[in-house]
């Protein structure tokens, strides 16, 4: 559990992320909706300033967001059901 100033929380998240201890985080605020709003309004801009929180997504699909390539063929494509455009 993290608590403290915006800087303290951002420092800890950055340390874990850059150190490879985590590739993402689930945010569970202590109370709703205020604590979540505080995180979004205060911590997220600090993480963006540090360059470790994206400003936009890189594509239209979840696969695009994770930077994964599209499969050349899958089970359905192999049976001719989808993927004709691939």
- What does each of the 86 residues of the chain score in pLDDT, given as a tens digit? 888 999 999 999 999 999 999 888 888 888 888 899 999 999 999 999 999 988 887 788 888 888 888 777 666 655 555 555 54
Q: Tell me what pLDDT residue 22 has.
A: 87
Q: Tell me what pLDDT residue 40 has.
A: 94
Helices (H), 1-86: 6-18, 34-38, 44-49, 62-65, 75-78
Q: Tell me what pLDDT residue 82 has.
A: 55
Q: Tell me what pLDDT residue 37 has.
A: 92
What does the domain layout of the chain look like in residue ranges? 1-55, 59-86
Radius of gyration of the chain (CA): 19
């Amino acid at each position: 559990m993290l608590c403290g100033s915006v800087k303290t929380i951002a420092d800890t998240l950055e340390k874990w992320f850059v150190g490879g201890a985590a590739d993402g985080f689930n945010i569970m605020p202590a109370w709703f909706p205020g604590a979540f709003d505080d995180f979004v309004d205060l911590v997220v801009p600090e993480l963006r300033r540090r360059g470790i929180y994206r400003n936009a997504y890189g594509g239209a699909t979840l696969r695009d967001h994770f930077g994964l390539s599209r499969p050349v063929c899958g089970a359905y494509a192999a049976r001719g059901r989808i993927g004709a455009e691939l």
